[in-house]
Amino acid sequence: MPVDVISENSGHSHGGHRGLISSLAVGLLLLTLIWAAIVVTTTVDRNERRLDTERTMANVAQAFEERTLRTLGAFDRAIHLLRLEYLRAPTQFPVRAIELQRDIFPDQLLQVSIVGPDGYMVFSNLAGNSSQVYVGDREHFKVHVHSSTDQLYISQAVLGRISGRWSLQLTRKITSPDGSFGGVIVLSIPPSAFGNFYDSLNLGEGGALTLVGLDGHIRSRISQSAEDTAAYSKQMPPTRPFMDMAKPAAGLYTEASPVDGVMRIIAYRRLPDYPLVVLAHVPETVALIPAEHRRAMLFQAGLVLTLLVLAAAYAIGRLLDERQRNMVLISTSEERFRSLVEGTTDWVWETDAEHRFTWFSGTFETIIGIPSSRLLGKLRREMVSNAHEIDAQRWAAHRNDLEGHRVFRDFRYWIQTGENRAKWISIR
């Protein structure tokens, strides 16, 4: 029983989850590229922020060095002048000391003291009766007792026995007219005197300026516009690069501060002609806050993209697998159909969208007796025998059924199989 078949060609595909696996693999590759870009971007951003901070700290340290040198120079000139006045007229020195202190440092009340060769204080502008105060045990006195040179000594931060305040003792030796040791002149200054321009800087939260001696003792530390007196009992570890005279006189390093234990980005400069080092530093975490904020934003965006990419890859993979399964079903159905057709005693054909024959089953030539190649590409109307006319109405109805893709039965026509030969074809 011949049957007319209109088909569409399609390729074969394999089932399983190959589409999902392939889609997820592409998604993972894309995510690898995305996260690699995020890691590179955040690393570069962090490094650039660190470099910017280091440059800023180096500039601040240079400015701090210049300010400290000017401040020390002014104090030392005052000591020279005060010592000269004392040696010229010791009895009139109390009056002259007050006048000079007011003229030279009108905005600061500094302690000026004279310590005799026995270690007892001879004069202090901040104490009515200072003769009973003994400072002969203090380093700023002892350093001059047997010294043969006239050098400025800058003490560690000490708590004054008269003033009750933390101060740095700037001292020089007094030599009597006969050349003997005549005592020491002392100018006591607040440690904050070296950081009084801190307010003009913008070091950020936790930023600080520190003046430290090559002995490791902190002379001054100013942070957030306040004097950090707790630092005066601390000492820098000898491993710090500025303590090594073989190292450059200026440089950068990152280490935990002995004062607060905070990891800091530090710029240092050793002062020429003085056993002092200036430090400008900020907490590493504070310096890197902008980079960390951008890093957090990029990581959040990366997580969102990860979810979107995985969801899209999963959805696309499922669609591909579904399509593969459908194609397998179609292919299997076609194969079964062809096997069925090849095994039947009838014959079957296929036509394209224009209803031209595109394929005949293997039994066609056996049943009809002509090669199928003669009819491929032809319309059914072109195959009929001219000697056996079919009613025009029946052809028109058949064409309508074909155009409408409707099932048709009981259509009969003659097919020309050779010269003066034809066969009756019945489609049921």
Q: Which of 159, 193, 227 delimits the end of a domain?
A: 193
pLDDT at residue 7 greater than cutoff 60: no
Whether 409 is in a domain gets the answer yes
Residue with tokens 């394209």: 352
Check residue 3 and give its pLDDT.
Answer: 40
Q: Phi/psi of residue 104, each to 5°? A: -80, -40
Whether 324 is in a domain gets the answer no
- Answer with the residue of higher pLDDT: 362 or 140: 140
Whether 297 is in a domain gets the answer no
Helices (H) and strands (E) in the chain, counts: 7, 17
Is residue 140 domain-shared with residue 244, that is, in the same domain? Answer: no
Is residue 119 domain-shared with residue 239, that is, in the same domain? Answer: no
Is residue 87 domain-shared with residue 164, that is, in the same domain? Answer: yes
pLDDT at residue 44 greater than cutoff 90: yes
Q: Which of 41-50, 209-218, 349-358 has the lowest mean pLDDT?
A: 349-358
Whether 152 is in a domain gets the answer yes
The overall average pLDDT reported for the chain is: 82
Q: Which of 125-134, 298-307, 373-382 has the lowest mean pLDDT?
A: 125-134
**Mean per-residue pLDDT for 331-343?**
67
**Mean per-residue pLDDT for 184-211?**
83
Is residue 179 domain-shared with residue 284, that is, in the same domain? Answer: no
Q: Which of 145, 174, 193 delimits the end of a domain?
A: 193
Check residue 116 and give its pLDDT.
Answer: 93
Is residue 69 domain-shared with residue 133, that is, in the same domain? Answer: yes
The Cβ of residue 314 has, within 10 Å, a number of other Cβ atoms equal to 14
Is residue 183 domain-shared with residue 209, that is, in the same domain? Answer: no
| Contact status, residue 368 vs residue 423, Cβ threshold 8 Å | yes
Q: Cα dist. 391→2, 83, 386, 411 in Å?
A: 21, 142, 12, 11
Is residue 94 domain-shared with residue 114, that is, in the same domain? Answer: yes
The span from the CA of 138 to the CA of 118, in Å, is 12
Query: What six digits make up the tokens of 381?
Result: 């109307």
| Contact status, residue 48 vs residue 41, Cβ threshold 8 Å | no
Give the side-chain half-sphere CA count within 13 A for 332.
8
- Answer with the residue of higher pLDDT: 348 or 12: 348
Whether 130 is in a domain gets the answer yes
**Mean per-residue pLDDT for 31-38?**
92
9-26 pLDDT, tens digit per residue, is 333 444 467 878 888 888
Whether 304 is in a domain gets the answer no
Is residue 186 domain-shared with residue 205, that is, in the same domain? Answer: no
Is residue 82 domain-shared with residue 127, that is, in the same domain? Answer: yes
The Cβ of residue 47 has, within 10 Å, a number of other Cβ atoms equal to 11
| Contact status, residue 312 vs residue 27, Cβ threshold 8 Å | yes
Check residue 128 and give its pLDDT.
Answer: 58
Q: Phi/psi of residue 228, each to 5°? A: -95, 85
Is residue 204 domain-shared with residue 277, that is, in the same domain? Answer: yes
Residues of the domain holding 268: 198-289
193-202 pLDDT, tens digit per residue, is 887 777 677 7
CA nearest neighbour of 386 among 415, 357, 411, 412: 415
Is residue 56 domain-shared with residue 186, that is, in the same domain? Answer: yes
The span from the CA of 244 to the CA of 210, in Å, is 18
Tell me the three-class secondary structure of 59-87, residue by residue: HHHHHHHHHHHHHHHHHHHHHHHHHHHHH
Is residue 169 domain-shared with residue 234, that is, in the same domain? Answer: no
User: At CA 98, angle to CA 94 and CA 101, rounded to 5?
Assistant: 135
- Total of domains in the chain: 3
Q: Which of 245-259, 283-297, 344-358, 381-395 has the lowest mean pLDDT?
A: 381-395
Q: Which of 266, 289, 312 delimits the end of a domain?
A: 289
**Looking at residue 89, which CATH number applies to its domain?**
3.30.450.20
Whether 298 is in a domain gets the answer no
Q: Which of 109-123, 132-146, 318-332, 379-393 has the lowest mean pLDDT?
A: 379-393
